[in-house]
Structure 1
Amino acid sequence: MFSIGDFARLGLVSVRMLRHYDAIGLLRPAHVDPVTGYRSYQAAQLSRLNRIVAIKDLGFTLEQVRAILDEKVSTEELHGMVRMRRAQLEAQISADLARLRSVEARLRTIETEGHMRTAEVLLKRVPPVLVAELSARAASYEGEDIGPVIKPLFQEICRRVDAAGVSVVAPGLAYYVPEEDGSVMVHTCLPVSAPPGSYDFDVVELPAIELAATIIHQGAMEAVGPTFQTLAHWIEEHGYRSIGLAREISLHCPENEDEWVTELQIEVSQHTTSNGTGSS
C-alpha cells in the first residue's frame, strides 16, 4: 500500500487531484484509516489512474471519463482514442505555427513600409508556356490556408509527371484564381514538352503576358508579403495597373525554405488619360 503522497508521485499527478477524484467517486483509495482519515492506494490502481488522466487529456469532462470507464474501455480502444487525439493536437499545433509565421510575416511587412526596394522591379514580356497542371481549392489567400494546399499539390504534380515520363523544361510555377465564395483555386504547374496522350493531370497552355512587372523574392513564401507590396507600390507609382493573375515562378527550391528564390509576375498595362494616351 502507498500513501497518497507516494501514489501521487508514482502516478505523476497532484495530491489535490487524487483527493478530488476520491470526492467525486472516480478513484477511491484502497483503504482509508478510520481514525486519521489517511488514504492508502494499491499499485494496481495506477492502471485506472492512467486511464483517467489519458481520457481527460483527450478533452473529455470528468463525468464523461467516468462514463467511459464504466463501459470498460479496452486498452486497444483507448490507444485508438489517444492516436486520434494526438493527430488532432498535431494538426492544431501545425495550424498555430502557421498562424504565428503569418503574424511574423505581417509584422515584417509593416516594418519595411517606407523602405520599398522598387529599383528591383523589372518589366518584361513572358512568352506562352505549355504546362502540366493540378489544382485544388484553398479557403483564402492567407498563408495558413494556401500552404497546406499548395505543398502537397506540387508534390503530386511532380510525382504524376515523373510517372508519365514527361520532360519538365523549366521551373515550376503557381497562380491563383479567386472564386465568388471567397475561396481560391490554387493551380500548380510544371512547364513540359508533353507529347499527345492521356494523362492524370491537365496539359494546358498558359497565355503570354505582354507586359509583366516582376520582382525576385528570396526566402520562404510565408514571408512574401513585403515583396508583393513592393511590387504593388511600384506598379501604382509608375502609372500602371494590374490586369491579370499573378504568377509565382519557383526558380530555386532547396529543402531549406529560407533559401528559396521565387520570381513574382503581375500582368500590367499603362493607365490611359482622357485623351487616350498613356500616363508617364
Structure 2
Amino acid sequence: MFKIGEFSKLTQVSIRMLRYYDENNLLKPAQTDPFTGYRLYSVEQIPRLQKIIFLRDVGYTVAEIGAALKNWSGDFMADQLKSKQIEVQQLLEQEQEKLSRIKTALDSIKKDEIGIHYNFIIKQIPSYPVISLRRVIANYFCEGLLWKELAELTNERKIELPVTEQCFAVYHDNEFKEADVDVEICMVVTKAVAVDEPLCFRNTEAVAMMACTMVYGPYENISGAFRSLAYWLTGHAGYRMKGKNRQICHRGPWNEENPAHYLTEIQIELEKVN
C-alpha cells in the first residue's frame, strides 16, 4: 500500500486531483487508516486511474467518466469513443493530441491497463561536486529553459567550468506537481568553482540505493516509468521510496532531432524496509 504522496509521485497525478477523484467517487482509496485518517492506495488501482485520466484528457465530464467506467468493456464504450473520434477530427490543430489518445484507446479498450513496463536496477550513487541552478518552474516541460539559463549565466559571467559529461536534474518536490515545480539542474565538475547567485557550487548527497531505468522516446513516456515502479515496488516488498528523484537526459533536443530517439534515465531513491 502507498500513502497518497507516494501514489501521487508514482502515478504522476497530483494529490489535489487524487482527492478530487475520491470526492467524486471515481477513485476511492483502497484503505483509510482508522487512526490517522491517511488515504492508502494499491497498485491494483493504477489501471482504473489511467482510464480516468484518459477520459478526462479527451473531454469527458465527471458524470460521463463514472458512466464510462461502469461500461468500459463492450459496444457502449467503443461507440462512445468512435463518436468522440469524429468530434476531435473536426477541431483545430491543437486538438490532434486528443485524437491520437482515442485511437490508442480503441486498440486497447478491452485491456486492463494502457502502458509500458520498465526494468529497474539498483545503483549506488556517489556524491558529486556540481555547479547547480535551482528554480521553481511552470511545469516539468520547462526544464529545458532552466538549462538554457544556466548556459547563459556561465557565459555572461565568463565562468570557466571544468565540467565532465555528467549532467542531471534533482526534483525537490515530494509529490507530482502540475505547476510550480521545484527543480535543480546540476553539472558535474572536476574541482571547486567560485560562483555567484543564483548559481551554486555544492557537493550532492551520496545515495546508497537508487532504482534506475532507461526511458526511450519523447518525454511523455516518463510517466509510464513511474507507474512501472509502482508494480516493481509491489513485487519487491523489501524496498520503499525515500527522498528525491533525479533525471539524466543522455539524448535530448540538444543532440537528437527526433524525439523518438531521446534517452532519459530515471533515478528514484530507495530504502530497505525492516
Q: Secondary structure at the match of 2:243?
A: coil
Q: Secondary structure at the match of 1:152?
A: helix
Shift of 1:189: 1.4
Shift of 1:202: 0.9
How far, CA to CA, are the matches of 2:115 and 2:183 in structure 1? 31
How far, CA to CA, are the matches of 1:112 and 1:153 in structure 2? 38
Segment of structure 1 superposing worse, 164-173 or 243-252: 164-173
Q: Does 1:202 align with 2:195?
A: no
Q: Does 1:177 align with 2:172?
A: yes
2:212 to 198, 211, 214: 214
Aligned to 2:121: 122
Unaligned runs of 5+ in 1: 1-92, 140-144, 273-280
Shift of 1:114: 7.5
Aligned to 2:140: 146
TM-score by length of 2: 0.52
Letter in 1 for 2:218: A
Unaligned runs of 5+ in 2: 1-91
Letter in 2 for 1:146: Y
Q: Does 1:166 align with 2:161?
A: yes
Aligned to 2:9: none
Identify if the C-alpha distance between structure 1 residues 238 and 115 changes in structure 2 by more than 3 Å, giving closer, same or farther.
Answer: farther
Letter in 1 for 2:215: H
> Is the Cα–Cα contact under 8 Å of residues 245 and 267 in structure 1 kept in the other structure?
yes
State percent identity of aligned pairs. 23
Q: Secondary structure at the match of 1:210?
A: strand
> Is the Cα–Cα contact under 8 Å of residues 161 and 193 in structure 2 kept in the other structure?
no
2:187 to 167, 187, 190: 190
Larger helix proportion of the pair: 1
How far, CA to CA, are the matches of 1:195 and 1:270 in structure 2? 34
Shift of 1:150: 0.9
How far, CA to CA, are the matches of 1:197 and 1:136 in structure 2? 20
How far, CA to CA, are the matches of 2:112 and 2:221 in structure 1? 12
Q: CA RMSD in A?
A: 3.4
Letter in 2 for 1:257: P
Identify if the C-alpha distance between structure 1 residues 159 and 255 changes in structure 2 by more than 3 Å, giving closer, same or farther.
Answer: farther
How far, CA to CA, are the matches of 1:193 and 1:100 in structure 2? 43
How far, CA to CA, are the matches of 2:223 and 2:247 in structure 1? 13
How far, CA to CA, are the matches of 2:150 and 2:225 in structure 1? 27
Identify if the C-alpha distance between structure 1 residues 223 and 115 changes in structure 2 by more than 3 Å, giving closer, same or farther.
Answer: closer
Q: Secondary structure at the match of 2:165?
A: coil
Identify if the C-alpha distance between structure 1 residues 112 and 220 changes in structure 2 by more than 3 Å, giving closer, same or farther.
Answer: farther
Shift of 1:179: 7.9
> Is the Cα–Cα contact under 8 Å of residues 193 and 201 in structure 2 kept in the other structure?
no
Shift of 1:236: 2.8
Q: Does 1:258 align with 2:260?
A: yes
Aligned residues: 168
By relative contact order (CA 8 Å, sep 6+), the higher-ranking structure is 2
Identify if the C-alpha distance between structure 1 residues 127 and 191 changes in structure 2 by more than 3 Å, giving closer, same or farther.
Answer: same
Matches within 5 A, 1:20-39: none
> Is the Cα–Cα contact under 8 Å of residues 173 and 244 in structure 2 kept in the other structure?
no
Aligned to 1:238: 236
TM-score by length of 1: 0.51
Q: Does 1:156 align with 2:158?
A: no
